[in-house]
């Protein structure tokens, strides 16, 4: 039973890391789009 808890914790950490790195990439992309549209 403890093995499942460990796997769930590792997957949750991986999801959080992936979402934070993707979030910064997406916000940077939106910033570039907004600046190119405003010019």
Question: What is the pLDDT at residue 27?
Answer: 86
Ordered by start, the domain boundaries in the chain are: 1-39
pTM to 2 decimals? 0.57
pLDDT at 1 over 90: no
Please list the alpha-helical segments (H only) found in 1-39: 2-38
Tokens 């990439």, residue located:
25
CA distances from 32 to 18, 20, 22, 24, 37 (A): 21, 19, 15, 12, 9
pLDDT digits (tens, 9 = 90+) for 4-34: 999 999 999 999 999 888 888 888 888 999 9
Question: What is the pLDDT at residue 5?
Answer: 94
User: Using CA atoms, how far apart are residues 8 and 2, in angstroms rounded to an integer?
Assistant: 10
Question: What is the pLDDT at residue 39?
Answer: 72
Residue 12 C-beta-side C-alpha neighbours within 13 Å: 6
Structure tokens at 13: 């950490």
């Amino acid at each position: 039973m403890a093995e499942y808890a460990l796997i769930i914790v590792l997957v949750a950490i991986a999801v959080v890391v992936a979402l934070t790195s993707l979030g910064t990439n997406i916000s940077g992309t939106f910033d570039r789009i907004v600046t190119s549209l405003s010019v």
